[in-house]
Amino acid sequence: MSATTLGFDEIAALDRAHVMATYPRLPVAFVRGEGTRLWDAEGREYLDFLSGLAVTSLGHAHPAVADALADQARRLLHVSNLYYNDVQPRLGARLDALLTAAVGARGRCFFANSGAEANECAIKLVRRAGQRHGGPERFHVVSALRSFHGRTLTTLAATGQPEKHETFAPMPEGFRHVAFGDLGGLRAAMDERVCAVLLEVVQGEGGVNVAPQGYLEAVRELCDEREAALVVDEVQTGLGRTGRWFAFEHTGAAPDVVTMAKALGNGVPIGACWARESMAAEFRPGDHATTFGGQPLAARAALTVLEVMERERAPERAERAGSRLADGLAALPGVTEVRGLGLLLAAELEPGLDAVATARRCLDRGLVLNAVTRTALRLAPPLLVSDDEIDGAVATLGAVLTDAATHQEAG
């Protein structure tokens, strides 16, 4: 049975009966996509300005990616990592070329299936290095409050959101959290047991918070001083979204380890952890593994995504489109601040406006975005979004905010 043959009520009933309720579903079931457009089970069209949480950066059903997947599915879907395949090393070389250009040092990749797994790899790697060279107590990792690094137990422990820890306590030990942008707090937390600092350049799930100017550079210096690794989580920001291939390129800081996922497969699950060669060499056969990591289908999708991004000059397009979107949002009634980089933006709403309710009203009018906090909306459209689509999304949000203001006055 194909999902496209079912109506919304049937899809929702099946979901309630057979799928764990780990997400608070909104009342829409998407069954088809093309570019920046989505269609639901009832045939209604939407503008997608969330991209599956910054995943479909080339848009839905990109023909080059679809063709590559179909071709690879007829060639070879999967073999064990006990053997070589002909796609994974080509993808590794392509990512290494991008990161070597950005960092100034060569490295190697480990391939996984998600951002959480990429971060899990990074944490294991820096702990391996820290304990090997600094002793058994050198395994602590410092990250930032309001950060988000995943929902496995280890990456949840690294995530600086204590409210997410309570249900699953006790958390794995060895993680410390300091305020984002507080260099003094970080310095105080970095004793001889700390092997690494793990940071986002832009805290996506934390509210689209951009690191203060000069902060990453100062963290890099502090890591060098304390002989700790700098790990940058680029799961949401990587691969063009912020107007550079990687968000850390907006700074003068060169990390030792970089994690990525989301946009890498344009919807096909794949993640990657890149590390400088000296750090990557800390792993020996058997130290880390995953059955599906870098398998031919996912690797072929990612390789094609990178080829299209390069051909389309995706980072440059994101920078230009992001400026247009930011300007449009800043001019809307009820928006007090626009923050972010490129096409990862948050619109902070004035007191009295509920971001959750606003996002729901936008959905009702055919615009997909989300409330990243109770007071802020997140917008992350495909990097190939058109000017007309940007203007249409801004107009829809503007109409929703105008209606909300009118109701406030009437109330």
- Amino acid at site 284: R
CB 95 within 8 A of CB 130: no
Q: Length of the chain, please?
A: 411
Q: What φ, ψ does residue 227 adopt, rounded to 5°? A: 60, 45
Nearest-CA neighbor of 339 among 331, 349, 351, 348? 348
Q: What is the pLDDT of residue 3?
A: 45
Name the H helices within 135-199: 153-158, 183-189
How far apart CA 45 and CA 33 sit, in angstroms, is 9
How far apart CA 104 and CA 98 sit, in angstroms, is 10
How far apart CA 328 and CA 343 sit, in angstroms, is 13
Domains of the chain: 28-62+314-410 (3.90.1150.10), 76-312 (3.40.640.10)
DSSP secondary structure code for residue 262 in this structure: G
The tokens of 90 are what?
A: 């080509």
DSSP for 377-407, written as a single string:
EEE---TT--HHHHHHHHHHHHHHHHHHHHH
Nearest-CA neighbor of 247 among 174, 329, 342, 325? 342
Q: What φ, ψ does residue 42 adopt, rounded to 5°? A: -100, 5
Q: What φ, ψ does residue 374 adopt, rounded to 5°? A: -65, -20
* Half-sphere exposure at residue 190, Cβ-oriented, CA atoms within 13 angstroms: 25
Q: Would you please indicate which residues are annotated as catalytic (active-site) residues?
A: 148, 233, 262
State which residues of the chain have pLDDT below 70. Answer: 1-4, 408-411
- Quick one: which H or E segment has residue 88? helix 88-103
How far apart CA 173 and CA 379 sit, in angstroms, is 35
255-287 core/surface letters (b: 16 or more CB in 10 A; e: else): bbbbbbbbbbbbbbbbbbbbbbeebbebbeeee
How far apart CA 383 and CA 396 sit, in angstroms, is 20
Q: What φ, ψ does residue 19 adopt, rounded to 5°? A: -120, 135
What are the beta bridge partners of residue 339? 346
Intra-chain end-to-end CA distance of the chain, in Å? 48
Q: What is the pLDDT of residue 300?
A: 98
CB 212 within 8 A of CB 178: no
Q: What is the pLDDT of residue 1?
A: 41
The tokens of 382 are what?
A: 């495909």
- In 316-356, beta strands by DSSP E: 335-341, 344-349
